[in-house]
Every structure is written in structure tokens, then in C-alpha cells.
């Protein structure tokens, strides 16, 4: 795989990082890319696709914490491979800087360019391993003060009691020591799940699916072996016999449809006691990815009612009920509802006493948006709905 250029742009289109590896693409590619992405949205369409072509140049981009990571090339390359490369470059830079934002980029541009020159040589990828790169990187990061950081990642939306559950935004570099020169022995493990649920008009669940990952970031010195124990009732496939057995039969416990593991994970005792053994590499990495379609109770229950209020008018009632225990609070919830393309305006009516809520009608993409600052469940722990 070969790319011609790599650059990072801010939300305003400012050029933060730019590296031209092969001098095959015009110098104005950054302006061309940002103008195309901006006008794509202004024309009333949705977000620009991750891949598009302008004047024979292929543009690939991913958006990470508000920054555009972009690669260009004139040759025919695998789109998924380039998009994966951009995600891995973002991950490597975050591992070294500790936090990924415009401020940390500008304070560490020498380190960022040193990383890019080791990751890509003349347009060809060399390595994206944080651990391997440690042997070739000599610049120390300038750590951004936590006071200058953006608010916590909205992906970590749940809090329990007064304590926020940790998210994936570990704001510590893999090569920086704590003040005083000492290194703290720490390891962070996150379980991140994306839940997709389809409700019928009467509120019944039609389909449900969980795509999950176990994410780990290690600051342990000496490369110790880590053993990660999973649920003993865990079954892979519908057979429930072996990690490689997908024969159909009734299983019990938690049933995963499929899963895959990081290359550092050893599965010697996984079949017997559901334990993963690994020597964690430096940086943040997914220990395990999995998918599950087994029945489960979603954290929210959604009911909708649509009634015609005239020839060109409709009334929509949306109700959301929290299904998690009352000691857990959900923060920064956004409900979106697509509307017909011919919708000209929309009005909203919230329940009396609704605090910390706001509504908006996105006319450009015909989207109704309902934002809730906080959702508290009325269900007591252990109570069934």
C-alpha cells in the first residue's frame, strides 16, 4: 500500500501537520479537501463520505476528536486499509502525546513529525506498533496540563453515584514519567459496547445486537504477564463447546456470536477456564472484539407515536424510559429522528418541569434533535420492569 500525502486539519481547516512523501499530488490538496468537505455539508447533504475523488486524487479521511486525519494518493489502493492506517496513526500519536487535540499537536510538532517519518517511508507503511517505535523515537513529549483538556469523552456517558466510570481517554503518555522521575505502575481496562436495537411501533424489541471491545492501556514496567479472567459461562458460537465449535445447539450463560483477539493474547487456557494470557504491548490496544445477538435488556426503552394532524402536518410523541438501576446516571444523551425531505419547520413541546433539555430542528439534513443533559432511572436496583 502506498500513499502520497498525510495531513491533519482542524475543524476550521487550519493545517496542523503536513507531510508530502512522493510529490505526486498538488500542494493545494489541503484546501481542496477542506473546501469539498465543507461544501458537502452546506449543499444540504449529510457528512462527506470517508473516501472521494477530486481531479484524479483519492482523498481518505477519518475524524478523530474533531480533527481530520487525511491521506491522499493517485493510485488504486484498498480503502479499508488506508482508513485503518489513519486510525492507527491517530492511536500511536495519542499514545505518545497522552491526549489528542489541537493544542497537544502544536506543542509537540517535532515529536509528531518524528513519529510520521518512522511510521511511513516514501509513502510505504513501516510499522504502527507503539512498542516497536519506542526504539526509534528520542523526543520527549510536552504533556498538556489536564486543566487545558477538553471535557471528558462523551462516549463515557454513565456515572455511578458521585464517581464517573473511567472512559478510554487516558491522558498519559507511554514515554513520559510522573513528576520526580518516578513511573507509576498502572493498567487501564475499558469495556466499550455499541448497542443497536430496533423497536416496533408498540415498543417491543425486534432486533438487538452488541458490538463490543475490551480496550487496554498498560503503564507496567518490565513487561509482566497479565491474566484476564472472563465470565466462566461465556460461550463462543451457538455450540457452547469450544472456541472453534460453531455447531448449532442450545447453550447457557453469555453467548457471543463471534470474537477475535489481539495478536499478543494467548488462548492456551481459554477453553478450560475462560482466561486470557498476554504480555501487554505499550500503548492502547483492543484485547478482544466481540459481537452478540443474544437477548438482553437495553439501557433505554423507546416508545413513539405518530399521528396525522392535518394534510401536511404530523405530531410525533417520543418517550424514553431508563432501564438501568437508579444509582447509575446517564449523561449527555442525544436523540435524533430523521424527518421527510419536504419538512419545512418543526416545533417542540417538552414535559412541564423538564430541566437540562433542549431541542433543535436541523433544517440542512432534516433532522430532529433532542438533547438531555442527564437521565436518572426511577427503577430501584434489582427491580424488574
Q: List, for residues 323-352, the tens digit of each pLDDT value.
A: 888 888 888 888 988 888 888 888 888 888
Indicate whether 99 and 214 sit together in one domain: no
Task: Tell me what pLDDT residue 79 has.
Answer: 94
With cut-offs at 50, 70 and 90, classify the pLDDT of residue 33.
very high
Task: Tell me what pLDDT residue 249 has.
Answer: 39
Residue 352 lies in a domain: yes
| Mean pLDDT to the nearest integer, 143-163 | 52
Last residue of a domain, one of 114, 134, 154: 134
Rounded distance between C-alpha atoms, residue 126 and residue 110, angstroms: 19
Indicate whether 332 and 275 sit together in one domain: no
- Is the torsion defined by CA of 174, 178, 183, 185 positive or negative? negative
CATH number, residue 128? 3.30.450.60
Q: Which of 39-53, 164-178, 261-275 has the lowest mean pLDDT?
A: 164-178
Indicate whether 101 and 215 sit together in one domain: no
What pTM was computed for the model? 0.67
3-state SS class at 277: strand
Give yes or no for residue 244 having a pLDDT over 80: no
Give yes or no for residue 245 having a pLDDT over 50: no
With cut-offs at 50, 70 and 90, classify the pLDDT of residue 10.
very high
Give yes or no for residue 354 having a pLDDT over 60: yes
Indicate whether 17 and 119 sit together in one domain: yes
Last residue of a domain, one of 100, 115, 134: 134
Give yes or no for residue 318 having a pLDDT over 50: yes
Residue 110 lies in a domain: yes
Strands (E), 65-169: 67-73, 120-121, 124-125, 158-160, 163-164
Nearest to 102 by CA among 149, 36, 34: 149
Question: What total of structural domains would you count in the chain?
Answer: 3
Indicate whether 230 and 128 sit together in one domain: no
Indicate whether 108 and 86 sit together in one domain: yes
Indicate whether 363 and 305 sit together in one domain: yes
Indicate whether 103 and 213 sit together in one domain: no
Rounded distance between C-alpha atoms, residue 88 and residue 331, angstroms: 29
Residue 181 lies in a domain: no
Q: CB neighbours of 293 closer than 8 A, spacing ≥ 6?
A: 207, 208, 209, 210, 257
Task: Tell me what pLDDT residue 242 has.
Answer: 42
- Structural domain of residue 268, as residue ranges? 187-240+250-298
User: How many angstroms separate the first and last alpha carbons of the chain?
Assistant: 53
Indicate whether 225 and 116 sit together in one domain: no
CATH number, residue 311? 2.60.40.1170
Indicate whether 55 and 124 sit together in one domain: yes
Q: Which of 41-55, 217-231, 304-318, 369-383 has the lowest mean pLDDT?
A: 369-383
Q: List, for residues 277-296, the tens digit of each pLDDT value.
A: 999 887 788 999 999 988 88
Nearest to 48 by CA among 85, 56, 59: 59
More confident residue, 295 or 123: 123
Indicate whether 98 and 204 sit together in one domain: no
Residue 166 lies in a domain: no
Residue 362 lies in a domain: yes
Residues of the chain above pLDDT 70, percent: 83
Task: Tell me what pLDDT residue 385 has.
Answer: 36
Residue 17 lies in a domain: yes
Q: List, for residues 192-236, the tens digit of each pLDDT value.
A: 999 998 888 777 888 889 999 999 988 887 778 999 999 888 888
To the nearest whole number, what is the mean pLDDT of the chain?
A: 82
Residue 245 lies in a domain: no
> Are the beta carbons of 46 and 58 closer than 8 angstroms?
no
Task: Tell me what pLDDT residue 147 has.
Answer: 45
Residue 368 lies in a domain: yes
Last residue of a domain, one of 298, 314, 337: 298
Indicate whether 347 and 277 sit together in one domain: no
Amino acid at each position: 500500500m502506498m500513499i502520497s500525502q498525510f495531513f491533519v486539519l482542524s475543524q476550521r481547516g487550519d493545517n496542523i501537520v503536513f507531510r508530502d512523501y512522493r510529490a505526486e499530488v498538488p500542494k493545494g490538496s489541503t484546501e481542496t479537501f477542506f473546501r469539498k468537505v465543507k461544501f458537502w455539508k452546506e449543499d444540504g447533504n449529510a457528512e462527506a463520505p470517508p473516501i472521494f475523488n477530486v481531479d484524479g486524487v483519492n482523498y481518505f479521511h477519518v475524524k478523530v476528536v474533531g480533527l481530520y486525519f487525511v491521506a491522499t494518493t493517485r493510485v488504486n489502493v484498498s480503502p479499508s486499509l488506508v482508513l485503518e492506517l489513519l486510525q492507527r496513526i491517530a492511536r500511536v500519536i495519542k499514545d505518545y502525546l497522552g491526549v489528542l487535540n489541537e493544542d497537544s499537536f502544536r506543542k509537540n510538532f517535532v515529536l509528531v513529525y518524528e513519529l510520521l517519518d518512522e511510521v511511513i517511508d516514501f509513502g510505504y507503511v513501516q510499522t504502527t506498533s507503539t512498542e516497536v517505535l519506542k526504539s526509534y523515537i528520542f523526543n520527549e513529549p510536552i504533556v498538556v496540563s489536564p486543566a487545558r483538556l477538553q471535557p471528558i469523552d462523551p462516549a463515557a456517558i454513565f456515572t455511578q453515584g458521585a464517581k464517573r466510570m473511567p472512559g478510554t481517554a487516558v491522558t498519559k503518555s507511554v514515554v513520559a514519567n510522573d513528576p520526580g522521575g518516578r513511573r507509576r505502575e498502572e493498567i487501564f481496562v475499558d469495556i466499550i459496547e455499541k448497542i443497536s436495537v430496533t423497536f416496533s411501533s408498540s415498543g417491543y424489541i425486534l432486533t438487538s445486537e452488541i458490538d463490543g471491545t475490551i480496550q487496554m492501556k498498560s503503564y507496567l514496567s518490565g513487561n509482566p504477564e497479565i491474566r484476564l479472567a472472563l465470565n466462566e459461562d461465556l460461550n463462543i458460537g451457538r455450540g457452547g463447546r469450544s472456541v472453534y465449535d460453531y455447531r448449532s445447539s442450545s447453550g447457557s450463560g453469555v453467548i457471543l456470536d463471534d470474537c477475535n483477539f489481539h495478536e499478543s493474547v494467548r488462548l492456551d487456557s481459554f477453553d478450560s477456564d475462560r482466561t486470557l494470557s498476554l504480555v501487554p504491548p505499550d500503548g492502547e490496544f483492543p484485547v478482544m472484539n466481540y459481537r452478540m445477538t443474544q437477548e438482553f435488556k437495553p439501557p433505554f426503552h423507546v416508545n413513539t407515536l405518530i399521528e396525522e394532524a392535518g394534510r401536511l402536518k404530523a405530531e410525533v410523541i417520543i418517550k424514553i424510559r431508563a432501564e438501568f438501576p437508579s444509582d447509575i446516571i446517564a449523561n449527555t444523551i442525544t436523540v435524533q429522528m430523521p424527518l421527510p425531505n419536504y419538512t419545512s419547520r418543526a416545533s417542540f413541546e417538552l414535559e412541564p418541569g423538564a430541566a437540562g433539555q433542549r431541542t433543535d430542528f436541523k433544517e440542512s439534513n432534516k433532522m430532529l434533535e433532542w438533547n438531555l443533559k442527564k437521565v436518572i432511572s426511577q427503577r430501584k436496583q434489582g427491580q424488574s420492569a
